[in-house]
Structure 1
Amino acid sequence: MDILKNLELKIAEAIKHFKEQLAGIRGGRPSSKLVEDVPVEYFGQKLTIKQLGSISIIPPREIQISVWDRNAASAVLKAIESSNLNISANLESSLIRINLPSLSGERRQELIKVAKKEAEEARIKIRGIRDEINKEINRQFSACARGASASAGKGGSASAGEEKKISEDDKFKFKEKVQESVDKTNEEIEKILENKIKEIEE
């Protein structure tokens, strides 16, 4: 059913957005995910850092970005410094160095709160998708039922049950499938959040 396919696409998009939001929250160890999707304005185009250079991790707390086009290096540096990552970077020719300070206990708790907020927003988004899909199921069922009644009123030979594309039983089955997908997605959100919290606490 197209409705359930639409559900899968919307959920996948919501999870992708959730992961992207968490990637922007730094953990206890440096990660390329922290900076790779930072948007960069370059010659009228909006690109990401991973499209403009290679990212390396230098233990214990350094991220290096080797910008392929030297002319783009200053734009990458500006993008990092103007992002909401609260990190500073140094530019040496086409190489950008980011030294991440260790996280204090207080800062870790702040970041965990931000991660939990993102998870709650993701759950709210999923609930909204569920409600939207259920309304569409109801709409299609009602439209089919009205069509069947109109056909019967004109002397059509098909019964209402035969005319419906979505029977009442099917309507509830589809809604059950929707809820199953939502429950599974909420479990996935919780696992992603747990992994992020572990990353912050490292």
Structure 2
Amino acid sequence: MFDTKPYEARMSAAVAHFQEELKRVRTGRAHPSMLDSVQVEAYGQKMPLNQVANVTAAEPQLLTITPFNPSNIQVIAAGIRQDQSLGLNPSDDGRVIRVPIPPLTEERRKLLVKQTSEKVEAARITLRNVRQDALKEAKRRKEAKAVSEDDLKTIEKSIDASIASFNAQLDASFKEKEKDILTL
């Protein structure tokens, strides 16, 4: 019999990746995961920010970064400034780095919704590719007489049901994020 579990696992991974991508989209409120993409040159190599400092959202419009080693303050601030996609300007007082999160303009909010919808489409394409792979494998097995015609139809229905379920998850995540972005 044909096992759809590996394909469902790939679909689940695609949805999980999409949800991780959504965390990086700014909503106008400070969230520590906004800085997950920041790499810092510390101890002679590039490291993720969360490995050299503690990041907290002290206020809705302010991130506070406390370095584990105070000598890394300058490289952390530089790392945040270098990540142009964030558009943030950190300031430090010698012990703590404060990153004010500027409010989003209406135009910027609409642009973020558009970018997010592009991420949704990319995730859907990934799901369709997994579906195609699964159907190709099922048809190959049918031609090899490993599965019957009826089994093939059952497999197709199962895969299509999985795709519908994962697409619904994508839609729900997108609607929630869209509401977050557009809320002032």
Identity level (%): 27
Q: In structure 2, give the amino acid aligned to 1:29.
A: R
**Unmatched segments (≥5 aa) in structure 1:** 146-163
> Is 1:115 paired with 2:96?
no
| TM superposition score normalised by structure 2 | 0.86
Structure-2 change in CA distance of 1:139 and 1:74 (3 Å): farther
Matches within 5 A, 1:27-176: 27-43=27-43, 46-83=46-83, 84-143=85-144, 145=145, 164=146, 166-176=147-157
Match for residue 150 of structure 1?
none
1: CA distance between counterparts of 2:78 and 2:162? 41
Post-superposition CA distance 1:135-162 (Å, at most 9, x none): 111122222x2xxxxxxxxxxxxxxxxx
1: CA distance between counterparts of 2:24 and 2:113? 12
Match for residue 180 of structure 2?
199
2: CA distance between counterparts of 1:34 and 1:42? 20
2: CA distance between counterparts of 1:197 and 1:111? 9
User: What's the Cα RMSD here?
Assistant: 2.2
Aligned length: 182
Stretch of structure 1 that moved more, 126-135 or 90-99 = 90-99
Q: In structure 1, give the amino acid aligned to 2:179.
A: K
Stretch of structure 1 that moved more, 173-182 or 91-100 = 91-100
Deviation at 1:41, TM superposition (A): 4.6
Post-superposition CA distance 1:22-66 (Å, at most 9, x none): 222100321122113434454465543233322211223001121
Structure-2 change in CA distance of 1:133 and 1:75 (3 Å): farther
Match for residue 157 of structure 1?
none
| TM superposition score normalised by structure 1 | 0.79
